[in-house]
Chain A
Amino acid sequence: MRIQPIAKRKVDSNSIQAVLMIAPMLVGFFLFTYVPIFYILRYSFYQSNGFTETWIGMQNFVRIFTRDLAYWKSLGNAFILSFGKLAVEIPLALLLAIFLNKALRGTGFFRVMLFLPAIISTAITGLIFSLMFASYNGIINHMLLSVGFISKPVSWFSNKWSAMFVLGTASVWNNYGINMIFFLMALQRVPKELYESADIDGIGSIRKFFAITLPMIGPTFQVVVLMAIVGSLKMTDLILASTNGQPAGQTEVVMTYVFKYFFGYDGRTVSVGFASAMALITGIILALVSLVYLKSTDKLGKAVE
């Protein structure tokens, strides 16, 4: 009988403590996550150089949809680069995970070393690859020359597609490891008995992969590929640290393009309103991509249930 009120009072003071403990983080969270979204919503209807602002209605959107071809080009580049490199990265990561899952001698060593690129700064990755692929004193050209693959140095960064190839290679190098580890963890959860009974039935390894492995790791596969797609479309550091959009803006991706308008970076004038409108449209496109992806891979996600 006497315990009740004491416990109640205690709960109340404990609730207050809980709120006080979490308050700084909640303030920070709303300030740095939700307020910026409203900021972008508001400024997409304004013209602003960071100091003065004028309401211009839908003009920013009109400009994007009718006059700013470079925005759509940068968006297109982000898609080409992302899907091009993921077409290599995802199968490579899955294949390596399958190899590492074989429990052969030395796989512990390989797992640690193959994951190494994933801990390295994306900006540093961009820098190192642009040095390695430099046309005159870069080591890649020298290696290709010495095996007779090319007869004169390739100037990788003066052509759009060869520059995109280097960016894709650098990004695969930097990111395959994390996907590999996700796949490996999923593979380790597949019950061994399934393979044993398949062996008894004399099923070949390729059929085993499609009949057992892929359905069993389906849900993980779906999420990993989604994160890889969204992450790649948001690629920023790698581009800024290597080509920075060169030659002539041909390797600009959507994130770097919008970033440069926000901050007036790289010789552009600060255009906060225009950049906000682009950020808004980009955000909507990213959400649509995720939605379409999830709808179309529905089967994969539900494979084992």
Chain B
Amino acid sequence: MEKHIARRILSKTAIYAALTVVFIIAIFPVLYTLFGSFKGNMELLTEGNRLLPRKFVLDNYKQAWRMANFSRYTANSLFMSAAIVAGTIISCTIAGYVFERGHFRGKNLIFTLVVSSMFVSLGSLTLYPVFMIAKFFGINKSLWGVIIIRVFGLNVTNLFIARAYIRTINYEIDESAMIDGCSFFQIYRRIIFPLLKPLIATIAILEFRHSWNDYLMPMVFTLSNPKRMPLIVGIMELKSSGEAATSWNLMLAGSSIALIPMIAVYLIFNRNFIEGLTAGSVKG
């Protein structure tokens, strides 16, 4: 018996040790970025042996904010993410509602077409044609193109989550609203939408993460219009420019500006985050 207990304590210690090691590896790059953003540029370029700065300086942020356009990039990121989150909440709940509750000819066929697109997904391989289509409509030179594509492009994962959630709402609610004279749209607007708060939180978090972190599509759409670049694109622009070797301070400050809101949202809503990220894929 004693041997058994000893073994149990030992394995517990081993588990904690393993978790602690991974914990350190998980947060190290984040701490490196956040602390690095307070190091002087001289220190960044000539030494690399310390995690903590020798002296905390705010110069990097001042310089990034004023001279390197990061105030503009941040505003662009906020605008793009807010528009995509708000738009997607509406488009996905409508799509989920129509596919779950609506009746019209060809609904099942269309739904099958939408779902089967998951199997021919080519990822960034279709970015060029998407860009050319946007060009055809004259929305290829600003973040509006990205917003329209994300909002109306119908994300299959979000559609699945929305449809599954709306299915759990009792149909009797719809019926009694119908008897009271509500039309199909009014039921969505007045009855269903207000009941979707947990779903909306999930979609909002998923879309915020996606749009705030996105790189390739906004990069392509702002290539010829640097004033519209979101944060991530702006930071990467520094890296690919000739001054990459000397602008570590700006890259680290910029990265921190991009990381902090994301981490804050995550720490506050971590439960919704984890549930949301897993919900769609398991059901899909």
Contact A287 B153, beta carbon cutoff 8 Å: no
Contact A124 B235, beta carbon cutoff 8 Å: yes
Contact of A33 among B117, B209, B267 (CB under 8 A): B117
Q: Tell me whether A279 is interfacial, beta carbon within 8 Å.
A: yes
Contact B27 A116, beta carbon cutoff 8 Å: yes
Q: Tell me whether B16 is interfacial, beta carbon within 8 Å.
A: yes
CA distance in complex: A134, B128 (Å): 33
Contact A40 B26, beta carbon cutoff 8 Å: no
Known: A35-B133, A114-B26. A17 touches B183 (CB 8 A): yes
Known: A117-B26, A128-B29, A262-B128. A123 touches B232 (CB 8 A): yes
Q: Tell me whether A15 is interfacial, beta carbon within 8 Å.
A: yes
Contact B239 A287, beta carbon cutoff 8 Å: no
Known: A17-B185, A263-B220. A116 touches B26 (CB 8 A): yes
Query: Smallest CB-CB separation from A258: which chain B residue?
Result: B125
Judged by DSSP, the binding face of B is: helix
Query: Smallest CB-CB separation from A275: which chain B residue?
Result: B128
Q: Tell me whether B242 is interfacial, beta carbon within 8 Å.
A: no
Contacts of A123 in B (CB 8 A): 213, 215, 232, 235-236
Shortest Cβ distance from A220 into chain B, in angstroms? 7
Residues 44 to 89 of chain B near chain A (Cβ within 8 Å): 44-51
Contact of A114 among B23, B91, B114, B117 (CB under 8 A): B23
Contact A234 B123, beta carbon cutoff 8 Å: yes
Contact B266 A119, beta carbon cutoff 8 Å: yes
Contact A119 B263, beta carbon cutoff 8 Å: yes
Query: Smallest CB-CB separation from A109: which chain B residue?
Result: B23
Contact B95 A25, beta carbon cutoff 8 Å: yes
Q: Tell me whether A14 is interfacial, beta carbon within 8 Å.
A: yes
Judged by DSSP, the binding face of A is: helix
Contact A137 B46, beta carbon cutoff 8 Å: yes
Q: Tell me whether A67 is interfacial, beta carbon within 8 Å.
A: no
Contacts of A241 in B (CB 8 A): 215, 236, 239
- Binary interface encoding of chain B residues 124-145 relative to chain A, with 1 for a CB under 8 A from any of its CBs, else 0: 1111111011000000000000
Contacts of B117 in A (CB 8 A): 29, 33-34
Contact A28 B48, beta carbon cutoff 8 Å: no
CA distance in complex: A220, B267 (Å): 27
Q: Tell me whether A69 is interfacial, beta carbon within 8 Å.
A: no
Q: Tell me whether B10 is interfacial, beta carbon within 8 Å.
A: no
Contacts of A177 in B (CB 8 A): 26
Q: Tell me whether B6 is interfacial, beta carbon within 8 Å.
A: no
Shortest Cβ distance from A218 into chain B, in angstroms? 14
Q: Tell me whether A91 is interfacial, beta carbon within 8 Å.
A: no
Contact A124 B232, beta carbon cutoff 8 Å: yes
Residues 107 to 130 of chain A near chain B (Cβ within 8 Å): 107, 110-125, 127-130
Query: Which of B25, B119, B239 has its CB near the most chain A CB atoms (within 10 A)?
Result: B239
Contact of B122 among A22, A143, A279 (CB under 8 A): A279
Q: Tell me whether B201 is interfacial, beta carbon within 8 Å.
A: no
Shortest Cβ distance from B251 into chain A, in angstroms? 6
The chain A residues found within 8 Å of chain B, CB to CB, are 10-11, 13-19, 21-22, 24-29, 31-37, 39-40, 92, 95-96, 99-100, 102, 104, 106-107, 110-125, 127-132, 134, 136-139, 141-143, 146, 173, 177-178, 181-182, 185, 220, 223, 227, 234, 236-237, 240-241, 244, 255, 258-259, 262-263, 272, 275, 279, 282-283, 286-287, 290
